[in-house]
Amino acid sequence: MAIRTRNKLNASFSMASMSDLVFLLLIFFMLTSTLVAPNAIKLLLPQSASKTMAKQTVTVYINENYEYFVEENRFALEGIENELTTKLAGQVDGSVVLRANETVPVQFIVNVIDAVNNINNKSNTKHKVILATRAK
């Protein structure tokens, strides 16, 4: 007499819960990516083929109207050095990321570099300026 098993193993896998999870993750990443604004001030950066990644401490913007912004606050050229001194206080080798519009003359960029060099000379630090660019 042959004994038959009544419980058969089913090797199929239900993908319904997996597709729900994928769609939830997709919606989550779409929502969070729209909330992130890396550039608060809209600029057309100059093009470059090189890539430099650095830990940024302070961001300075120069827009097409030659206005200076430290983070998102507007400053005159005379106030840039004081603001950078307070932002870089307590750091020895911070980095200032300079995001200048591609139409900005070089003199405006040099003004920011001079301000950082003055801070370095006064407080004996080694802060550096990094010019942000966009890919070619």
105 lies in a domain?
Answer: yes
pLDDT score of 43: 61
Band of residue 68 on the pLDDT scale cut at 50, 70, 90: very high
Band of residue 111 on the pLDDT scale cut at 50, 70, 90: very high
Q: Give the SS3 label for residue 111.
A: helix
Average pLDDT in the chain: 82
102 lies in a domain?
Answer: yes
77 lies in a domain?
Answer: yes
54 lies in a domain?
Answer: yes
pTM for the whole structure: 0.62
pLDDT score of 107: 92
99 lies in a domain?
Answer: yes
- The residue segments making up the domain with residue 61 are 47-135
Asked whether 93 and 127 are in contact (CB, 8 A), the reply is yes
How many domains, in total, are found in the chain?
A: 1
Calculate the alpha carbon distances from 33 to 3, 6, 82, 109 in Å. 60, 52, 34, 31
Q: Dihedral angle at the C-alpha atoms of 109, 111, 116, 118, nearest 10 degrees?
A: 160
22 lies in a domain?
Answer: no
Q: Is 131 buried (19+), middle (13-18) or exposed (0-12) by CB count in 10 A?
A: middle
The domain spanning residue 111 has which CATH number?
3.30.420
Q: What pLDDT, in 10s, does the model give residues 31-62?
A: 877 665 555 666 666 666 766 666 667 889 99
Question: Which residues have a Cβ under 8 Å from the Cβ of 93 and sit 6 or more positions away?
Answer: 125, 126, 127, 128
14 lies in a domain?
Answer: no
- Which uninterrupted H or E stretch holds 18? helix 16-35
Task: Name the more confident of 54 and 17.
Answer: 17
Residue with tokens 């911070």: 94
27 lies in a domain?
Answer: no
pLDDT score of 34: 66
- Which uninterrupted H or E stretch holds 98? strand 95-100
